Amino acid sequence: MTTEAATASSHDDHEIAHVMPLPVLFGVFATLMVLTFLTVAATWVNLGWFNLPIAMAIATVKATLVALYFMHLRYDAPFNGLAFLTALVFVALFILVTLLDTIAYKPSVDAYRDANSVSAPQ
Amino acid sequence: MSAAPDHDENHPHDLAHHFDTHRQQFDAGKLGMWIFLVTEILLFSGLFCAYVIYRANHPEIFIYAHQFLDKNLGALNTAVLIFSSLTMAWAVRAAQLEQKRALVRLLSITLACGFVFLGVKAVEYHHKWHDGLLWASQYNPKHHDSAEHNEAGHGAESDGEGLHGEEPKNVGLFFSIYFMMTGLHAVHVIAGMGAIAWVLNRARKGHFNRRYFGPVDFVGLYWHLVDLIWIYLFPLLYLIH
Amino acid sequence: MATTVDGKTADFPTDRGPLNYLNCDRGILSWAFTLDHKRIGLMYLISIMASLGLGGLFAMLIRVELAHSGQQIVDENTYNQLFTLHGAIMVFLFILPGIPAALGNFVLPIMLGAKDVAFPRLNLASYHLWVIGALFFLLALVTGGLDTGWTLYVPYAFQTDTRVLTAGVGAFILGFSSIFTGINFVATIHTLRPPGMTWFKMPLFLWALYATAIIQVLATPVLGITLLLLAAELVLGIGIFDPTKGGDPILFQHFFWFYSHPAVYIMILPAMGIMSEVIPTFSRKHIFGYRFIAYSSVAIALLGFLVWGHHMFVSSQSSLASTIFSLLTFSVSIPSAIKVFNWLATMYKGSIALDTPMLYALSFILLFGIGGLTGLFLATLSTDVQLHDTYFVVAHFHYTMVGGTLIAFMAGLHYWWPKITGRMYNEFWGRLCSIGVFAGFNLTFFPQFVMGSRGMPRRYHDFPEKFEIFHFLSSIGAFLMGLAMLGVLIYLLYSLFKGRRAPANPWGSATLEWQCSSPPPKENFAETPSVSDPYDYDHIKYDPEKNCYYRVN
């Protein structure tokens, strides 16, 4: 490809980034497909509230596989993974604190709605 | 090291003038891309937050409304995206190993998967539009004949009835959230396809080699993130129990 | 002193090269599409100062209207638009991009001894997006204005017939501009530090910009999605924030403040970074407590995410959340106070030179101190219920945003002006105007604390007699401050044409940007400069003949 000048200069000899072996890629793909099937299959069984944690757990396993292998995080500079995890921590912070508050004030909103019989739209 | 400042003969054409080595350039680009992905995650966090708030406070809306989503199409799209992630990851490998022909093919397949995904999405949106299952202010369902709906294959749940129960208040909010989440995701798919088309073009021109394949890798990261978000959207929207 | 001549020419070139970044390329396109961080920084500088002028003009109009009770120059609706546009323009167009994108862009790579930021194209895109976002603001301004307050609170934002959508699109685009700057700074600081510059040998301004970039990256996308949902509400009626469709307007406030509270640290952290450069330089003394200042920047950035609910104490936020947020809010004062103590300790027994940047720095410490301490009153639940939405709050955040950020921006502007333009401004006028700004500012906002605590609500077009004297003093102060700012503009512009040519290092600073000529050449450094302690002034001596500093080894 690049037969132009200066390619041979001794920048750094080893690879710039890890090359993912094909068996790993295919293995991850197969696992992801199986997990997708599992998450659909889990809805065939009625486990009550427990269905949601199962679905989220499966999704998280899938997401972890994608991040570690397809996105190379396992072989990458640790800071990139740290940035990714930090994002998730802040998402959790945002959602959980807001959830905490909305759950806490919901009774007063409902009470107001009932007392004033604010009707649903349409 | 920086022994020789960049007076052009020593400075490869695919190394920007302010970097000393290809490795430095790649690491900077990769870090930049990861931080961009962080911003994308936080962009979606608002929608996930809205989802969680409404699902926690009004679960009945979600349980009722998800029956109108087609699980099979959702699962199909999940498979398509995961497959495209595989071909994308493989394309990065091909770029690193200077397998130009494989790179072009794999990127093309990835791009095609993007089109399939959008096609399926369009079919789903069309059904919703047709049935009046739209966001809050436009929510005007035409499903009062529930038998018709059963036959269309929606909501065949374990207890075998058609639509369960009374329609709760404010079902339109579910579709607001559904359209915002999948719509924003679709915008990202389109943006990702644009980016893939760009690297595909550059791959055809032979721009990439073992020291310079950053764009393929970075576009790949973006595409995987789009996949990753869908991995959560699928169970959250389609597989409510 | 025998070695000085060699040292002088090697480290601080006193002669300007024939070509620098300003004159190396000519033509408007060489500016509009430049990839040079210095030119982008300079364009940002001009743009944000124009925004400052526009926002300041609105402020003056507000103060004219409020100089006496009753209607002076505008009616109620126009008044609502004035304070909204004053706030929105100052926040989105001036303060948020002000220090990082203008001064930071110019200085950051040079402080690192690098040729540019990591992604020059992204940097240019950031500026172009800023311009587009600003155009949307102007469009909103001329097509019908905006009267929601800069916070765009729902449900009023759905009901007003002013241009919420246009302004929202503008803010969305400006958010992207800010994100791009943040990404660039993080990647640049990580990957382009020169050999020998470890994290704890970086100038503290870079730590501050790094912490700022963390917030820009983590918080700004939430503003993006908030505005997107707001736009979807206006265009489609999705109802997520609209109570008439079953939505939740308090949720909007959570979304908005999850961004906008951290955003106040986007405003103040770079200002603190400038303090950490100016104070040791003009005290001729090594910075005190380097690591504490560095860590406190990051601590402020992270703690800043935990306190957004203190803007919502009198919304229908639950008392549980309010209590938690109140408690956490107090914790932010700790790292801020650590910084102030360290600056004071740096000055202690230093050889303080009261040049213009230092006068602004001293103003900053006093005004930010007042702004920060009055914040504690507002963090306390019971007093906040009394003071919420009064002029006390207005005075508090102006003491931090103007007394903090604007004053620090002025310090940085004067400090780096010789580097940016290659000219020295008139020191006498500089000092005089800085005193004028300080006096005018206090006269404007101190009376507002008093009338706020006596119940004068913010955003009101008119007021009862008993507030007459406070409002009048406040207006006088505003004109004084405006006059002083005008003076700054005049002598800075004058310096461009008639100012003394600036030496490489006019202040005797030890950071790397003073090792290249003023103004810097296109690629900053021909060779990556050698790195030493950025606050070591023992090896920097004054040359009275040439009126500049040089390094002795």
Return per-residue pLDDT of chain A as tens, 122 residues: 333 333 433 344 457 888 999 999 999 999 999 999 999 999 888 887 888 999 999 999 999 999 999 999 999 999 999 999 999 999 999 999 999 999 999 888 888 777 776 554 44
How close A102 gets to chain B, by Cα (Å)?
7
Report the CATH number at residue B38. 1.20.120.80
Mean pLDDT of C426-446: 97
Q: What is the pLDDT of residue C532?
A: 85
What are chain A's partners, defined as 3 or more CB pairs within 8 angstroms?
B, C
CB C27 within 8 A of CB C524: no
Q: Is B28 in contact with C219 (Cβ distance < 8 A)?
A: no
The string of DSSP letters for C511-552 reads: SGGGGS-SSPPTTS-SSPPPP--TT--TTEEEETTTTEEEE-
Nearest to B229 by CA among C477, C7, A115, A60: A60
Dig out the tokens for C294 from the structure: 């560095």
Task: Tell me if residue C509 falls in helix, strand or coil.
Answer: coil
Give how far the C-alpha of residue B218 lies from the chain's centroid of Cα atoms, to the nearest Å: 15
How far apart CA B217 and CA B214 sit, in angstroms, is: 5
Give the closest-approach CA distance of A103 to chain C in angstroms. 9
Q: What is the predicted pLDDT for the residue at A14?
A: 58
Which residue's entry shows tokens 């310079």? B212
Q: What is the pLDDT of residue B108?
A: 97
Is residue B87 in a domain? yes
* Mean pLDDT comparison of B6-10, B201-205, C13-17, C517-521, highest-scoring range: B201-205
In a domain, B153, yes or no: no
State the average pLDDT for chain B. 88
Given pLDDT bands bounded at 50, 70 and 90, which one contains residue C16?
Answer: low
For residue B142, what pLDDT band results from cuts at 50, 70 and 90? confident
Nearest CA to C408 out of C359, C445, C344 is that of C359
Identify the burial level of C330 via C-beta atoms within 10 angstroms of its C-beta, where 0-12 means exposed, 13-18 middle and 19 or more buried: middle
- The label of the residue with tokens 């740290």 reads A82
Q: Which amino acid is at A16?
A: I
- Can you tell me the distance from the alpha carbon of C218 to that of C305, in angstroms, rounded to the nearest whole number? 9
User: Measuring CA to CA, which residue among C307, C312, C309 is closest to residue C335?
Assistant: C307
* The pLDDT value given to residue B143: 60
Quickly list DSSP for C390-408.
BHHHHHHHHHHIIIIIIHH
Determine the 3-state secondary structure of C65 from DSSP.
helix
CB-closest option in A12, A15, A98 to B21: A12
Dihedral sign computed on CA atoms, order B173, B178, B179, B183 = positive
Q: Do A98 and C190 touch (CB under 8 A)?
A: no
| C406 touches C460 (CB < 8 A) | no
Q: Which domains does chain C have, with CATH numbers?
A: 4-551 (1.20.210.10)
ipTM: 0.92
Contact state of A100 with C320 under an 8 Å Cβ cutoff: yes
Q: Percentage of chain C surpassing pLDDT 90?
A: 83
Give mean pLDDT, residues B13-39.
93
Cβ–Cβ under 8 Å, residues C363 and C403:
yes
Residue B149 has pLDDT above 80, yes or no: no
d(CA C186, CA C178): 13
Q: What angle do CA C173, C177, C180 make, to 5 degrees?
A: 135
Scanning C91-110 for CB atoms below 8 A from B yields 109
- Using DSSP, state whether B212 is helix, strand or coil: strand
**Interface probe, candidates A73, A80, A99, chain B, greatest B C-beta count within 10 A:** A80
The pLDDT of residue B147: 42
State residue B165's pLDDT score.
66
Supply C54's token pair.
């526009």
Half-sphere exposure of B93 (CA within 13 A, CB side): 20
Task: Flag whether pLDDT at C168 surpasses 50.
Answer: yes
Total domains, chain B: 1
- pLDDT the model gives residue B2: 38
Place of tokens 């996105």: A71
Res A121: pLDDT:
46
- Cα(B191)–Cα(B199) distance, rounded to whole angstroms? 13
CB environment C382-399: b (16+ within 10 A), e (fewer): eebeebbebbbbbbbbbb
Strand partners, C240: none
The predicted model gives C145-165 an average pLDDT of 91
The yes-or-no verdict on residue B148 having pLDDT over 80 is no
Q: Which residues of B touch A80 (CB under 8 A)?
A: 30-31, 34
Residues in chain A with CB shorter than 8 Å from the CB of B234 are 36, 39, 59
Q: Which amino acid is at B131?
A: D
| Averaged pLDDT, B5-22 | 76
pLDDT tens digits along B215-232? 999 999 999 999 999 999
Query: What are the tens digits of pLDDT across the range C315-345?
Result: 889 999 999 999 999 999 999 999 999 999 9
Domain containing residue B192:
22-142+162-238
pTM higher than 0.90 for the full model?
A: yes
Q: Does the residue B192 lie in any domain?
A: yes
pLDDT at C246: 85
Amino acid at C83: F
Predicted pLDDT of residue C9:
41
Q: Strands, E, within chain B: which ranges?
A: none
Q: Is residue B14 part of a domain?
A: no
The pLDDT tens digits of the residues spanning C376-409 come to 999 999 999 999 999 999 999 999 999 999 999 9
Amino acid at the residue C70 = G
Dist. CA C344–CA C279, nearest whole Å: 9
Arithmetic mean of pLDDT, C487-516: 93
DSSP string for residues in A60-118: HHHHHHIIIIIT-GGGS-HHHHHHHHHHHHHHHHHHHHHHHHHHHHHHHHHHHHHHHTP
Q: By C-alpha distance, which of C310, C370, C304 is closest to C340?
A: C370
pLDDT at C527: 77
C229 near A CB under 8 A: no
What's the confidence (pLDDT) of residue C538? 87
Domain assignment present for residue B149? The answer is: no
In a domain, B27, yes or no: yes
Q: Is C501 helix (H, G, I), strand (E, B) or coil?
A: strand
Q: C108: helix, coil or strand?
A: helix
**Angle subtended at Cα C402 by Cα C399 and Cα C405, rounded to the nearest 5 degrees:** 110
Place of tokens 């009835």: B161
Task: Classify residue C244 by its DSSP letter.
Answer: G
3-state helix, strand, coil in chain B (%, to 5): 70, 0, 25
Q: Does C232 touch chain B (CB under 8 A)?
A: yes
**pLDDT over 90 at C17, yes or no:** no
Sign of CA dihedral B10, A2, C33, C38: negative
DSSP C204-226: HHHHHHHHHHHHHHHHHHHHHHH
Distance from CA of A92 to the nearest CA of B (A): 9
Distance from CA of C111 to the nearest CA of B (A): 15
Cβ B43–C187 below 8 Å, yes or no?
A: no
Q: What phi and psi values does residue C534 have, to the nearest 5 degrees?
A: -70, -10
Please answer whether residues C451 and C467 qualify as being in contact, where contact means their C-beta atoms are separated by less than 8 angstroms.
yes
Structure confidence at residue C77 (pLDDT): 92
- By Cβ distance, the residue of C222, C245, C248 closest to A102 is C248
Q: Is C277 exposed, middle or buried (0-12, 13-18, 19+ CB in 10 A)?
A: buried
Q: Which residues pair with C543 in a beta bridge?
A: C548
Residues with Cβ within 8 Å of residue C96, at least 6 apart in sequence: C174, C178, C263, C266, C267
Check: CB of residue C327 under 8 Å from CB of residue C376: no
Assess C526–B contact: CB distance below 8 Å, yes or no.
yes
Helices (H) and strands (E) in chain C, counts: 19, 2
The mean predicted confidence, pLDDT, of chain C is 92
Q: What angle do CA B180, B184, B186 make, to 5 degrees?
A: 120
| Bigger pLDDT: B164 vs C377 | C377
Per-residue burial over C160-178, b if 16 or more Cβ lie within 10 Å, else e, is: bebbbbbbbbbbbbbbbbb
Here the tokens at position C72 are 């002076």
The C-alpha atoms of residue C306 and residue C302 are separated, in whole angstroms, by 8
Choose from A64, A65, A70, A91 for mutation: most chain B CBs within 10 A: A70
Of C357, A42, C8, A71, whose CA–CA distance to B37 is shortest?
A71
